[in-house]
Amino acid sequence: MNKLTTSFLVLALSSLGWSFGFSDVQFWVGSGSNQAALAVQWNDGQTPQALVWGYRWDGTANTETMLQAIDSADARLFKYAGTPGQFGLPLYGIGYDTNSSGVTGAGFTNSTSVPDNATANDPTDRWKVGWTSLGFWELYEGANGTTAGGWAGAQTGVTGSTIANNDWRALSFAPGFSSQGVGTLTAAPVPEPATLLFVGLGLAALAKRRRA
């Protein structure tokens, strides 16, 4: 069992029976006087059920801003999104490089580039995608406070969801357009230096293959 897997188990076990608060968040992104948290839940039967990242900022921000910042900071998290339109950023897929192989991202194995057909470049990664047929990523807004709870489905997408200090947001995949709610939260771990090196080498190898 590698150290990353061990840290997942420890964090998951420590969360059982206790509420999850900002003090439990391990991976923080940004800086500023405001804080918010984002949970991502794949509903794929795997554990941890949902991973949580923290975000700090000044001024104004929304869930899209938070997601983009976290996606840029954590090399293991990746997303597939469309071109922003009238209703903001269309979010199709979210993945996570569980084994820290450095191979991330998604693509198409056939000529029909419908969002739902996108597959993860590494089939072992956690990955859920949907837009027109498989389901969709549903946004939940939690009650404002230092601990997570009071989740309710948002009436907007990630772009229209403004965040304030001590806000909670969750993206939970709804397979077959069936809402799943928000389950057990586990802090996304901060990768160890050796893991970061491994991820970097994997990304370099993937880029080389794409150029070939």
Supply the CATH number for residue 78's domain: 2.170.130.30
How far from each other are the two terminal CA atoms of the chain, in whole angstroms? 34
Give the model confidence (pLDDT) of 2-51 as tens digits: 545 445 444 444 444 469 999 999 999 999 999 999 999 999 999 999 99
Give me the residues paired with residue 55 across strands: 29, 36
Q: Helices (DSSP H) in the chain: which residue ranges?
A: 3-15, 63-73, 193-211
Q: How confident is the model at residue 90 (pLDDT cuts 50, 70, 90)?
A: very high
Please give the pLDDT value at position 109: 72
Q: What is the pLDDT of residues 156-199, one digit of tens each?
A: 999 999 999 999 999 999 999 999 999 999 999 998 764 444 44
In this prediction, residue 197 carries a pLDDT of: 47
Tens-place pLDDT, residues 110-155: 656 789 999 999 999 999 999 999 999 999 999 999 999 999 999 9
How many structural domains comprise the chain? 1
Range of the domain at 106: 3-211
Cα separations (Å) of 46 from 25, 89, 127?
A: 20, 27, 11
**Residue 205 backbone phi and psi in degrees, to 5:** -65, -40
What is the reported pLDDT for 9?
47
Using CA atoms of 29, 125, 194, 28 in order, give the dihedral in degrees to the nearest 10. Answer: 10
Cα–Cα distance for residue pair 161/178, rounded to 1 Å: 21
Q: Which residue has the higher pLDDT, 56 or 15?
A: 56
Q: Contact at 8 Å (CB) between 126 and 138? A: no
DSSP 23: G
**Whole-Å CA distances, 131 to 61, 93, 138:** 25, 9, 11
pTM of the model: 0.83
Handedness of CA 127, 49, 23, 163 (dihedral sign): positive
